[in-house]
Amino acid sequence: MQYRQEIDRRHSVVVELPLGDGATCDLEKAVCSHGLFMMAPNHWDSLSKTLERPLRLSENINDDDHEKSHLVRISQPSDSPHSLHLRVFGTDSLSPLHQRSLLGQVRRMLRLSVEENERVRKFQEICEEAKERGFGRVFRSPTLFEDMVKCILLCNCQ
């Protein structure tokens, strides 16, 4: 029997993440770049092309909200391909600090920084097929700790 926490989907907030220089980012190709997206707590919906997973409201261990997380659905609307939408369930509002924290975690997961965009551009210059197929970004977890745990657990799989 699988336990899943009941999420209040009636209350939610949408936060927009403009891609800026990362406008070439395709959510589906970035998330599905390798198998880590299939590991819990990630849930990829191939029909709606959305990623759902819990994210912490604060990355600062000293904040009162550090232990709080909310289910977040990340999507790239077809009518707004140069931004991502983060629907945060279970809340009616988010402080600017919480918004920055959530956006920072998504930027890390999808490698949406100036430096990463430059690496993708250079890689795609070398490998034309990668550019044609929209490859170059490798999905990762919102924290280094989660990435390390997944790597350790996967290293001994046969």
94 in a structural domain: yes
CA distance 80 to 75: 10
List the beta bridge partners of residue 88.
13, 72
* CATH classification at residue 98: 3.30.310.20
Q: Give the span between the Cα atoms of 150 and 147, in whole angstroms.
A: 5
Question: In angstroms, rounded to a whole number, what is the distance separating the alpha carbons of residues 124 and 72?
Answer: 30
pLDDT tens digit string along 108-153? 999 998 898 889 889 989 998 888 887 888 899 999 999 999 888 8
Q: What is the pTM of this model?
A: 0.85
Return all residues near 151 (Cβ < 8 A) that are at least 6 apart: none
Residue 22's pLDDT is: 57
Overall residue count recorded for the chain in this entry: 158
Evaluate whether residue 6 is within a structural domain.
Answer: no
CA distance linking residue 137 with residue 146, whole number of Å: 18
Domain span at 39:
12-155
Decide if 4 is inside a domain: no
Q: Tell me, yes or no, whether 7 lies in a domain.
A: no
For the chain, the average pLDDT equals 86
Establish if 55 belongs to a structural domain: yes
In the chain, what percentage of residues exceed pLDDT 70? 87
| Each residue's pLDDT tens digit, 37-58 | 888 899 999 999 999 999 999 7
Give the other-Cβ count within 10 Å of 32's Cβ. 17
Contacts of 150 (CB under 8 A, 6+ apart): 36, 39, 141
Does residue 28 belong to any structural domain of this protein?
yes
Q: Could you report the per-residue pLDDT of 81-102, keeping only the tens digit for each?
A: 889 999 999 999 999 999 999 9
Q: Specify if 1 maps to a domain.
A: no
Phi, psi values for residue 114, rounded to 5°: -60, -45
Task: Retrieve residue 136's tokens.
Answer: 């170059």
Per-residue confidence at 6, pLDDT binned at 50, 70, 90? Answer: low
Using 50, 70 and 90 to split pLDDT, how confident is the model at 3?
Answer: very low
96 in a structural domain: yes
Whether 20 has a pLDDT exceeding 60, the answer reads yes
The number of distinct structural domains making up the chain is 1
Q: CA 123 to CA 158: how far, in whole Å?
A: 31
